[in-house]
Amino acid sequence: MSKTVAFIGLGNMGGGMAANIAKAGFVVHAFDLVQANLDAAQAAGCKPFTCAKEAVDGADFVLTMLPNGAIVEQVYLGENNDGLLSHVAPHALIIDCSTVAPANSRHVGKAAQDAGIAFVDAPVSGGVAAANAGTLAFMVGGSERNFEAAKEVLSAMGPNTFRAGDIGAGSVAKICNNMLLAVHMAGTAEALQLGMDNGLDPKALSEIMLKSSGCNWSLEKYNPVPGVMDGVPSSNDYQGGFMVDLMLKDLGLAMEASTGSKSSVPMGSAARSLFNLHKNSGGEDKGALDFSSIQQLYKN
Ligand code: NAD
Residue 95 sits in the same domain as residue 208: no
The residue from 127, 148, 166 where one domain ends is 166
**Which residue(s) pair with 94 in the sheet?**
62, 119
Segments in 198-265 forming alpha helices (H): 202-210, 217-221, 244-261
CA 95 to ligand 1 center in whole angstroms = 14
Residue 213 sits in the same domain as residue 230: yes
Residue 122 sits in the same domain as residue 142: yes
CA 15 to ligand 1 center in whole angstroms = 9
Ligand 1 atom closest to the CA of 15, numbered from 1: 26
Residue 9 sits in the same domain as residue 156: yes
Residue 18 sits in the same domain as residue 153: yes
DSSP letters, 138-153, are EEEES-HHHHHHHHHH
- Substitution candidate for ligand 1 out of 51, 66, 100 with most atoms within 8 A of CB: 66
Residue 178 sits in the same domain as residue 124: no
pLDDT in tens, 212-235: 999 999 999 999 999 999 999 999
In sequence order, the 6+-apart residues with CB closer than 8 A to the CB of 69 are 98, 100, 101, 103, 104
Q: Is 75 in the pocket of ligand 1 (CB under 6 A)?
A: yes
**Predicted confidence pLDDT, tens digits, the chain (300 residues):** 899 999 999 999 999 999 999 999 999 999 999 999 999 999 999 999 999 999 999 999 999 999 999 999 999 999 887 899 999 999 999 999 999 999 999 999 999 999 999 999 999 999 898 999 999 999 999 999 999 999 999 999 999 999 999 999 999 999 999 999 999 999 999 999 999 999 999 999 999 999 999 999 999 999 999 999 999 999 999 998 899 999 999 999 999 999 999 999 999 999 999 999 999 998 899 999 999 999 999 997
Residue 81's pLDDT is 77
Residue 268 sits in the same domain as residue 295: yes
Q: Is 43 in the pocket of ligand 1 (CB under 6 A)?
A: no
Residue 181 sits in the same domain as residue 162: no
In whole angstroms, what is the distance from residue 86 CA to residue 57 CA?
A: 10
In sequence order, the 6+-apart residues with CB closer than 8 A to the CB of 99 are 68, 123, 124, 171, 174, 175, 178, 246, 249, 250, 253
> Residue 155 burial (CB < 10 Å; 0-12/13-18/19+)?
middle
**Which one, of 45, 56, 57, 69, lies nearest residue 8 by Cα?**
56
Q: What single-letter DSSP state applies at residue 292?
A: G
**Which one, of 139, 176, 135, lies nearest residue 158 by Cα?**
135
Residue 250's pLDDT is 98
Question: Catalytic residue positions?
Answer: 174
Q: Is 69 in the pocket of ligand 1 (CB under 6 A)?
A: no
C-alpha Rg value of the chain to the nearest Å: 20
In whole angstroms, what is the distance from residue 239 CA to residue 36 CA?
A: 22
Residue 143 sits in the same domain as residue 240: no
- Substitution candidate for ligand 1 out of 7, 8, 10, 12 with most atoms within 8 A of CB: 12
Residue 11 sits in the same domain as residue 148: yes
- Substitution candidate for ligand 1 out of 246, 249, 251, 291 with most atoms within 8 A of CB: 246
pLDDT in tens, 158-177: 999 999 999 999 999 999 99
Q: What is the dihedral of CA 256, 258, 262, 268, to 10 degrees?
A: -130
Q: Is 293 in the pocket of ligand 1 (CB under 6 A)?
A: no
In sequence order, the 6+-apart residues with CB closer than 8 A to the CB of 52 are 6, 8, 31, 75, 84
Residue 25 sits in the same domain as residue 129: yes
Q: Is 33 in the pocket of ligand 1 (CB under 6 A)?
A: yes
In whole angstroms, what is the distance from residue 288 CA to residue 199 CA?
A: 31
Q: Is 128 in the pocket of ligand 1 (CB under 6 A)?
A: yes
CATH for 218 = 1.10.1040.10
The residue from 140, 166, 192 where one domain ends is 166
Q: Is 251 in the pocket of ligand 1 (CB under 6 A)?
A: no
CA 97 to ligand 1 center in whole angstroms = 10
Residue 124's pLDDT is 97
Q: What single-letter DSSP state applies at residue 225?
A: S
CATH for 53 = 3.40.50.720
Total of domains in the chain: 2
Q: Measuring from atom 39 of ligand 1, which residue has the nearest CA? A: 127
Domain that holds residue 256: 172-299
Residue 282's pLDDT is 86
Going by DSSP bridges, is the β-strand pair 61-64/4-8 parallel, antiparallel, or unpaired?
Answer: parallel
Residue 141 sits in the same domain as residue 214: no
Q: Measuring from atom 36 of ligand 1, which residue has the nearest CA? A: 99
Q: Is 109 in the pocket of ligand 1 (CB under 6 A)?
A: no
In sequence order, the 6+-apart residues with CB closer than 8 A to the CB of 268 are 179, 182, 183, 251, 254, 255, 258
> Is the distance from CB of 120 to CB of 167 less than 8 angstroms?
yes
Ligand 1 atom closest to the CA of 99, numbered from 1: 32
The residue from 166, 194, 212 where one domain ends is 166
